[in-house]
Structure 1
Amino acid sequence: MRRRKGERGKRHTTDMVDTVIVQLNESNPEPNAVLNPANIKLESDNREEGEEDEEEEDGNSQSPIAVLEDDEEDEDDADSVIDKTNTPEPSVSFLECCTRANLPSEVTIASWEIYYHAVQRVSLEGSEAAWQLSAIYYYLLSKGIKRRGKASRLLTQPFPISILTIANTFDVSVAELIDKTTRFAEIIHSRKMRRYLEYIRRLQEGLAVTCVIFKKFCKVFNGIFEEVKESTHNCPSSYELFTILWTYFLVMKSRLPTDDLINNYQLLFSMIDHLYTEMSSLQDGIVYHLNQEFVGNLIDKDCTILRALCTNFGGSVLDTRHFYQHTYKKMDKTGLPTSWDFAEFRDEIINASKDAYDSYLLLRGSIDERVFIPSPEDFSMVFKDQFVAANVLKISHTGRLFMDAEFLNTISNNQCLEKLSHGKAGLEKLSQGREQPKVPCVEYNLELGQYPEDDASNQAHERLVRIIGGWKLERSKLKEMCERMSDSPMATILLKSDELTSKFERTLFEERGESSQMTFMTNFHHDLRKELEKVFLIFMEKIIVAEVAKKVREEDLVNVVRREEFLNSVFCFCVELVLFSNGYDRPFPWSADVCDCHPFMFHKVIDLMISHEKRLSRQMVQHFSRIEENVIEYYAWKSDSPLWQMVIRCPFANFQEFGEDWADKLNTYSPMKFTPLKKSSSDELRDELGRPIVPQNQTSRTLRIFLKRTYFTAARRLQELTDRIAMATRPKSQCWSVFDYLLRNDTLIFMDRHLDQIILCCVFVIMRMHGSSVTFHEIMAQYRRQSSSAMYVYRNVSVFRDQVDEDNPVPVNLKETISERLEAPPKSKTTVDVIKYYNIEFLERIKHIVKQIDTAPDEDLMEMPIPTSHGLAPVRVYLTQNVSIQVLPRTQYKESRQERAITHLERSGRTLENALSNGNE
């Protein structure tokens, strides 16, 4: 009976609409054939004749209200209160907009009924036209989206008209359309609502990706093409070419298997490479668009177009080339231009991709993404980098601004692009991320976003000069602050500065084998020494001023400033800064050796120094971030490291799991961490459960920070490696559980070894435990593709020589403690590859724990921390596992540009002063 009542309501509405449409047609000399009253009456009569048949069919009613009632679960709904037989006639403005949009009559009538149905439920605030448009969009989608079965990218019933065309007639922006339609779906509340909202979510994500890609496309177009304002019979204008290429891209984008950001970047570069090659082969016409400067660079560098695009506009050459060969070449290119000869095939070139994309839009029911193309009057902004694509979405066809623009917040939302970057597994990974602890980036990357970025590496020295400025010791705050202290540390600071700068200069002389007589390079090194002296004193000034402002006790501050290991660490930082700024390639720990500073102590001052100088460039901060990573992965674990004495006093096992406690106040070191260590009581404190209580002294704080940073580094590398070998969720947790057990309970395994060596072994033992066919060589092949990989890691694992004795190998002592290892006489060591190390030692150390890990339930395993990321940077997608990369050997040192220039002058017999004077002339 409900279905019969709905039909009566629809026929009644049709009768009322007839008179209104007749009035419109009388005022319109060319009436819309689709909205002909006779057609509407005929359809109504046909429905009346077949009413009994439709009543017997389940779910085939043509009434939109009946369709909604079919989908609703409760009969005692708001619909039962609404009198559907008294639906008023559509407004004149609504019918006028539908007429201009060429909407079929059944869509007009059904959308009006749904709109009125929503008005009776709630009070709709805002633009009436926007709500009416959302009713049309909702109706068209409800006819095409399946209620059951696997979701499809295409609708079961295509749209009669593009939704953007309809939106333009209603003068509603894209942002407002999506915002209102989402809310409209919640008002109607049908069983399809979940699928409907999922469709809108995918639509939002697609537009978010397109916004990013369009911005990149504008830069590429601006970089490789010249502006041609007028078109000819054989050469289009820049606006026409831009429209053709963007439409070409949208057609190819619709044929991608997954609509993620990385694939779209690679598709864009592959398409431009293909089209650029075709255009270059022509002798006339479209070839005039090519930017001759870009062409010249290709010829001079003997570079392929694809490589130039990736280099100039940010892309991975290897991944893009793989995408081009194995995906782009095999993609269906039906409906796309086959020739770019405009003199003969102009209409085909312009209309081929346009017709293909128009057809796809109606089948997909999505927003026409050609909306981003600026108007011909504003097109010149593309060549001036002034066009903002996202603004198009919040402005209607006539320029009316959507003030809320909530959808634009979705575009800039990190979670939206995070789901896209992970592809189909995005939702699963996000749900895991909510449960797993996340390590904030500030924990490791030293707040890189707060520092300025230089345009070129040669500007690093100019930035160092600006930091030094006109600083003079005589009128500095350093001298003033020290003189105020009862026991001034000024003499200690100056003595250390003179001692270490002299050693720095002397070491440079010795490396080059120079004599004591003054040469051009000697003068240059002397200038470096002067820079180093000033930089060291400037940083000491900043540290003392900052600590005094914190009202630190003068006695404690003087003790820290006079500590030799603290002064050496600060000076080591200044050496690295001066070397980096002057282009010297002295790999770490060269500076630590010069300053008699252990890398573990040096890494404690890195974030302290950076926090006191905000004028460091982004490249400078990244340089120190890489050094800190080297310390955490290798140098801190060397047998001569101060870390081991700290671990003896306060083992890692005493620290509780961090859980969500990654971002507390104890994340960074301070100068006070260099105060003398207090000896802990011989009686170990324990809580009521018998667990040791970690005393809150400087040792425990230092180890706690170091332990968290070690976890971050290991989690990031283990996550990347396990992703590359396609490891499942449970094996990942098992890998992390094994690594955590070794770090806390068998810390000795890390002595004189690299963090990655232990990670590789952990991954392999879990793969073996699950019966995987992945070999150790395949794991190492995936490891070599990581940015942090190094050949010596898997070829040189430190072991005792008696462990590899061919005649009588000595097994590893599993009960040996850290103290026993350090106090015992030094034993001869050698290196083996990581596979041999796994067999002779690692497997023995973890045999007992692997059995427990294998049978442990999921809730007892440790979740791997997920390092968070900031911004909209795309996440790398690994397209293949069968690419071999050979790392070429590097020389130990590489001369800087200054060294090479001065050496050349010496060989030619010219003086530096003459060279400079000739250059000025």
Structure 2
Amino acid sequence: MVLSEEGEDQLHKKLLDLCSKLNLDQKTVSIAWDNFTSINKNFSLEGESLNWLGCAVFVASQSIEVTTIGTTVIKGNGINLTSLLRYSNLSFAQFFNNINKWADMAHLPDEFRRKIDRLKDTFGVAHNTFKRFYPIFSKIFASPNSTDLETTKQHRNRKLRPVLCNTSKVFEFIWNLFITLKGEDPQCSSELVKSFHLLYACLDLAFKNAFLAERRDLLNPNFEGLPADWNNPGFIVPQEAPCLISYLCKCPSVVTEARYMKVYVLRRLIGNLINNKVLLADNRNFTGLFDQHNFEQNFKNVVNAYETHLLNCADVDERIFLAEYRRQLLEQQNNTWAQIGRASSVTFAEQSVIASPPNNTNSFGAATPRGSDTPLTGRVYLPREADVLPLSMDKTITQKITRLHNILNNRSPAASESLLALFENCQVDPLPTIQEVLNTLVDKFVSVYISALPNKEEDARNRIQIGITLFYKFIENILENEKKIRNDISTLLKKELFYQCMFACCMEIVLFSYNFPNKFPFILDIFEIQPLHFVKVIELIVRSKDQLSREMVKHLNRIEETILETLIWKSDSPIWGAINSSGEGIPKYESTALPGHLVYSDRHSVRNGTSESNGSNTHSPVPSALDRFQSPVNSASRQLFSQVQSGQSVLQKHTHLMITDKDGNKKLIPIMDCDKKELINNDSSYGQPRKLNSLSLIFRKFYNLAGLRMEHLCMKLGLTDIEVKQKIWTVFEDSIRNSDLIRDRHLDQLLMCAVYVICRISNSTLKFQDIMKFYRDQPQSGSNVYRDVLISREITDDENGTVAEKRSDLISFYNSVYVEVMQRFAVRFRSSIPNGNLLLSPLPAVKRDLISPSIQVVGNVFVRPLESPSTASTGGFNYFFSRSPSKDLKDINKLVNNNRVAGKRLLADDDLDIEIAANKRASNRKIQSLVEERRNQNNE
């Protein structure tokens, strides 16, 4: 239903009815109606009108300041979010989706978006914690029976009826106590691991009270944590109850953190509740909670304390999980308890109708980049997805921590004997320098961590120890690889910047594994490291022999993309000084590309090399760690160096021959050196010296990233003509090299503008909205990229000389800034203007299949998506599901079993399409022989 079909009076009546059910004041009603009418007039709101009215009410309620219990003034009128969603016919997933769209349409401030993100995190953490709570409770305590539930249902409105201490009420009491304590510590609400630890501590406390009171009616007699003689008639209850932390946590490091939560955090929080008369219990060992004369008052006081918290904070009412629990359990017991018996309790939790909100959304106006999606670059480093089982949110985070500790492998936070042996071969022992760098960075981290999260120094120290252990392990791996490339690694070990970046990356891995609320570039701000330097170590760590988890690799790939797309182009970035020092300005892609990574007009001439680093595949020689930290060399020095090394001018050393085929397409054929009998393509790219300093490597990564995104965007837009793509790339490359447009802006902004300007010149019917629509399909896309673009900067006339920024959307940037700068260059690509002499830049060689790369099944057998029958390889067997006969599959099985099949041979390449037919390869060999023969004649 489209909202325009409803009259204004009808919509206003619905709003009044909704606000009446929520007991809202007239001011909130008025603001909500004004906001709704404004949005409804400017945008097409599709769906149920009550859903959008609920969003308008929520936004209006957050703009009002009210005084809560006491003297605290908060922004928000204490609206019950759960009731709002119930009366608005919204699930939590729908609410978070709609409210993010509303925030985009209404241009709401970042403060509001952060609140929504916090609510989303809080609900997700609570949802996944409850899913773990029920199965654990059912193992420790006796399962609630139908008598308990019916008694609760029958007498819930009778004031004189006491609250019985049965398993059903104990279940509710533990959850109410947990969410009350969680509200006192914001970190437990946003971090799933800490939420689990607090839940474990609450379960341990409840078990202790039931065990010491010998409440056999509450405990499960088959629970493994009970003493072996628990069921014996003469059992004597000891003074101390068994600790459940070791039973609930398996990983040693997790046990340590959970015990810290029990001994320090829970003791402090429970002590405060006892001192404030919320709980009636022994204030020394916290026993007596389940005594009949205490339990009823404790139950009521905890519920009241949580309701007070809801009025102060207007959070999600996490008691909704209890209501769902009671409904489903009663339904099971009344209908199918006899058949189900005591089936797996995990099944109940998974069947909950309360859906956890999605981590990202594909809908228009997503407020934040979808960082959990797989980035376009670096997919070759990801472990096989078939090996990664789909996990719930709680299991995923627990798995991240477990894998992190598996990498540590019980190492100590110090240099190993192998690493010390590497240091001994250096001219100067780097260990004192490393320790000095670490001490400085550790002090900075602990200081900022504690200021962000007070009373969390113990957590900070724990994270630091893990980070130092990772640091020494990765340093050892990288130096072992470096030793294989060059004998002397002393130059690298003298660079303090290398250690700083390595430690920062290790700490980012630790914080990500523990779901730290502050996201990247938080770690760079702590250590005051420039993104340009930090990006140099990411690939070194990802390539380490200790394979990181799939989610960790995706996270680091996304960080690398973030740095390359925007962070290195900030005004205060050192890249501008490095460019000036190089004496050449920003290079073209072809001057940084590896041999065979350029696409001219013939697509089939692409694959005479392999992609490096940021491309889809990488088997090329990898730049060493020292190469990444080399300073840029100016052009004069580089040419002199080349002359000294080769004994001749670079211009005199021809490495490739340009030929033109019958169709007029140009090809480059590498020339064979007759003396060395090898292709001369190791130190040059198409006649130009290969640049190995850090700046060139950065630009190579940047251009590869831009090429991938352009190819993906063109594929979605249907721009398949290679000449059109070359024009787009040439315009984009010129906007980077010969203008200041990229400064303080985003790669994707200039890329979309380049696509649109070529579409306009080519008289295409594509609109800017079409480009942005398909851009949103890319995993890194965010609405801020096209809604918040720098237009200009002006220095105000005040004493401080404040810089005022003017920002608007991407279309305004294109019309007011981009066209003015690029018009004279772009107009040369008009079809009406002869451009025979206009040299188009070659494209980066990227895989056509950007969505689903080929997957290795076994040995030399690979599966990849079918694009068209014409793409089938003639050099191996192909089997098309639902189309090929069974004989083809039998032939493939023979090959897998190493049985020869006449007339066929195995695939020679594990991941690349075989695009050059045998006759073309033979032709190239003939040309090569001809070139060699003529060269020998000249030498004679």
Same-fold call, TM cutoff 0.5: no
Which is higher, the Rg of structure 1 or of structure 2?
1
Give the TM-score normalised by structure 2: 0.41
Compare relative contact order (CA 8 Å, sep 6+) and give the higher one, 1 or 2.
1
